[in-house]
Chain A
């Protein structure tokens, strides 16, 4: 019963995300603020219903609903949606909604069409360290995802200005400085959350298996992604890496994160595979 209600709520959230995506596409062409606002509220409603759905599932399975691939994808989408609401509230970067709605729709569509196999009860999926590790990692990845979105918008705007042919996106996007600032703020937030997520993950591993590090593929790739962002932040601070270079590196960093989240579990295996069965 609880699972059924939870899934229904997730389906409603998916419909809201898709409607929002349609709204943002209209906004991309028509540039009416009212359309952007409606699209934003559709995402906000979607996130609210999505959260209710995940809580329902969580209560039903008596734990965090990240115990298979479908639930993990859904949790990733929820984290991205919630983080988007915060970033949009803070920066009001209107076109970022198009990126967020697109990723939310694709992720939720995957979560809804993939087979939802029930995982057997597992004590490994319990405990404060586990909860902290999972929530921090998902929140950090969401912020870094939005940094990637802002980076893509930066490259689009920069391409037109550099080519001395402003083009389609010129009027639709804000200044390069602003896009770079939003991307940087998202990277800083994401990096901070990712760091905490990794640390809590090490502690959790120590509690569960008795050692901090086990050369698991996911651990290696996560650390790799963390290094990419650490280098990026370092270069930005000391060598003035900003703008185009920073935007490209943000996209590369997020590609590693997506591979870490999906590719490693699906193709390389390791003990994190449990979450994506």
Chain B
């Protein structure tokens, strides 16, 4: 098996400060790839960097490359090896493949099942292609990881459930309202989590934003940020007639919206649905409001319960996803094994023999006047033609020369003669 190596740090092995120090921007990645591709021991290389991980995946042609990369990281990031080496994981061959596939399938993420990771891996791959450092092995490996990630997403429920408070709130909003783009959101107070929820809602095309805060200046600043409208804090009750979703996170010690206020507002708004998301502790929204018709109140504990049940469901789906990863690793290893010269020549011979036998049988069945010895002679002749025809390609594959990339020519041969047909099916 080719010497595939993956070295990296992630959220499990390193604190955020260290991850930040070792992270690469796109420009830095390109520059690093340009430098590293000059190294004679590195045949192919790819750098993958997000806020949660920095990983270098490469195919080595000789030993000692791990030390080279540690020195490179230390030099380019101005950080002593002793600072980051303890947090580094070094995975080889099958382990490295398994790790990449798990990362692509979002099984190694801080939030398992989050969809962004695949896009980030694709970007890293495109950068490596641009730098000319991803060739036969990495190309195939990356494409396999993409198709695996798609399969995991499609065939398991791993990405179905919201596992963060703000996403759970949006999931609920989507189950209450059919079209968020026609809805107005009112932000009461300016807590960080409430802002996050509004940001998520905006990314889900929510209609308009209103911000109401005790300090009007802050409301104006926040409203500007969300392209919305600021309201005085005392206007919040009147606003209940025109908004649909209320996210509350004030520091108040009493309820800032009471059941009576909502009852009156509901009559005015002809009982159109209202959804309260109360993220404040102590609570801002009177829980009795949930008893009113067409009004739904979720506080932070309710949202946590939703998230917890989603995490539980997601864990069940993870088992299925891990099985897909293991299968993909086995298939990829089989493909790697087939890249060795003997299996490829064997497959080539088998393919040719099969074609010759099939065509001879087809033709000779129409030539019944021929005697058996004549038929045998024709069979021998066609087999000889086929053997001679593939002799030169086989000789070429046996002696590609030390300076050339064996795996490239073997892969090309397998593609030219469609030898991976079974594996692809």
Q: A161-B175, A166-B172, A244-B294 are in contact. List 11 more A-B contacts (CB 8 A).
A: A161-B176, A164-B306, A165-B305, A176-B177, A176-B273, A177-B177, A239-B270, A239-B271, A240-B269, A242-B272, A243-B293
Given known A-B contacts A166-B306, A177-B273, A239-B270, A244 and B293 have beta carbons under 8 A apart: yes
Asked if B317 is an interface residue, CB under 8 A from chain A, the answer is: no
Binds B, one of A167-175, A186-194, A205-213, A255-263: A167-175
Chain B 133-171, CB within 8 Å of chain A: the 1/0 string? 000000000000000000000000000100000000000
Chain A nearest CB: distance from B64 CB in Å? 51
Q: How far is the CA of A47 from the CA of B174 in the complex (A)?
A: 34
Name the residue among B160, B176, B269, B294 with the largest chain A CB count within 10 angstroms.
B294
Complex-state Cα separation, A240 to B295, whole angstroms: 13
- On whether the beta carbons of A164 and B175 are closer than 8 Å, the reply is no
Measured between alpha carbons, how far is A263 from B258 in the docked complex, in Å? Answer: 47
With known contacts A164-B298, A244-B293, A245-B293, A176–B176 Cβ distance under 8 A: yes
Is the beta-carbon distance between B272 and A170 smaller than 8 angstroms?
A: no
How far, in whole Å, are A22 and B198 apart by their CA atoms in the complex? 42
Give every chain B residue within 8 A of A157 (Cβ-Cβ). Answer: 175
Q: Are B305 and A161 in contact (CB under 8 A)?
A: no
| Cβ B160 vs Cβ A162 within 8 A | no
The answer to whether B178 has its CB under 8 Å from any CB of chain A is yes
The answer, yes or no, to whether A181 is at the interface (CB within 8 Å) is yes
- B312, CB-defined interface residue at 8 Å: no
B365 CB within 8 Å of chain A: no
B309 at the interface (CB under 8 A from A): yes
B208 in the interface, Cβ–Cβ < 8 Å?
A: no
| Cβ-defined contact, B293 with A175, below 8 A | no
Chain A, range 106-164, C-beta contacts under 8 Å to B: 157, 161-162, 164
Interface residues of A in 238-256 (CB under 8 A from B): 239-245
Q: In the assembled complex, which residues on chain B have CB atoms less than 8 Å from the CB atom of A176?
A: 175-177, 273
Distance between Cα atoms of A162 and B176 in the complex (Å): 10
Q: Is B296 an interface residue (CB 8 A)?
A: yes
Q: Is the CB of B302 within 8 A of A164?
A: yes
Q: Please give the distance in Å from B263's CB to the nearest CB on chain A.
A: 13
A243 B179 Cβ-Cβ under 8 A:
no
* B290 interfacial by beta-carbon distance below 8 Å: yes
Rounded to whole angstroms, the CA-CA distance of A161 and B270 in the bound complex is: 21
Q: Which of B174, B175, B294, B309 contacts A242 (CB 8 A)?
A: B294
Q: Does A178 contact B (CB under 8 A)?
A: yes
Q: How many A-B residue pairs have CB under 8 A?
A: 56
Selected A-B contacts with CB under 8 Å, 15 pairs: A161-B176, A164-B305, A166-B172, A166-B175, A174-B178, A175-B175, A175-B177, A175-B178, A176-B176, A177-B177, A177-B273, A181-B178, A240-B269, A242-B294, A243-B294
Residue of B nearest to A169 (CB): B175
Q: Which among A178, A240, A244, A245 has the greatest number of chain B C-beta atoms within 10 A? A: A240
Q: How far is the CB of B190 from chain A (nearest CB, A)?
A: 25
Distance (Å) between the CB of B346 and the closest chain A CB? Answer: 40
Residues of B within 8 A of A181 (CB): 178
Q: Which of A165, A170, A242 contacts B271 (CB 8 A)?
A: A242
B294 touches A171 (CB 8 A): no
Question: How many of B's residues come within 8 Å of A, CB to CB?
Answer: 23
Q: What are the nearest 9 A-B pairs in CB distance?
A: A240-B270, A240-B271, A177-B178, A178-B178, A164-B302, A175-B178, A243-B294, A177-B177, A175-B175
User: Which residues of B sit under 8 angstroms from A241, Cβ to Cβ?
Assistant: 271
A237 to chain B, nearest CB (A): 9
Chain B window 170-195, contacts with chain A (Cβ cutoff 8 Å), 1 for yes, 0 for no: 00101111110000000000000000
Q: For residue B296, which residues in chain A have a CB less than 8 angstroms away from its CB?
A: 161-162
A170→B294 contact, CB < 8 A: no
Find out whether the CB atom of B294 lies under 8 angstroms from the CB atom of A175: no
Least CB separation from A167: chain B residue: B309
Q: Residues of B contacting A178 with CB < 8 Å? A: 178
Closest A residue to B269 by CB, please name it.
A240
- Chain A's closest residue to B290 (CB) is A162
**Scoring B residues 273 to 313 as 1 if CB is less than 8 Å from chain A, else 0, what string do you get?**
10000000000000000100110101000100110010000
Q: Residue of B at shortest CB range from A244?
A: B293
Q: Note all chain A residues with C-beta closer than 8 A to B177.
A: 175-177
What residues of A have a CB within 8 angstroms of the CB of B176 in the complex?
A: 161, 175-177
Residues of A within 8 A of B302 (CB): 164
Shortest distance in angstroms between A138's beta carbon and chain B's nearest beta carbon?
30
Q: How far is the CB of A81 from chain B (nearest CB, A)?
A: 26
Closest to B177 in A: A177
A170–B175 CB distance below 8 A: yes
List residues of chain A with CB within 8 A of the CB of B179.
Answer: 177
Task: With both chains docked as a complex, state the minimum distance between the C-beta of B366 and any C-beta of chain A, in angstroms.
Answer: 45
Distance in Å: Cβ of B297 to nearest Cβ of chain A? 8
Collect the chain A residues with CB atoms within 8 Å of residue B293's CB. Answer: 243-245
Complex: A174 Cα to B175 Cα, angstroms: 6
- What is the CA–CA distance of A202 and B196 in the complex, to the nearest angstrom? 62
Residues in A whose Cβ lies below 8 Å from that of B272: 240, 242
CA distance A166 to B175 in the complex (A): 10
Q: How far is the CA of A164 from the CA of B301 in the complex (A)?
A: 10
Bound-state Cα–Cα, A175 to B296, Å: 13
Q: Shortest CB–CB separation between residue B144 and chain A, in angstroms?
A: 25
Q: Which residues of A contact B270 (CB under 8 A)?
A: 239-240
Chain B residues closer than 8 Å to A164, beta-carbon distance: 290, 298, 302, 305-306
A170 to B293, CA, bound (A): 19
Render A224-240 as a binary contact track against B, CB cut-off 8 A, 1 for contact. Answer: 00000000000000011
Cβ A171 vs Cβ B305 within 8 A: no
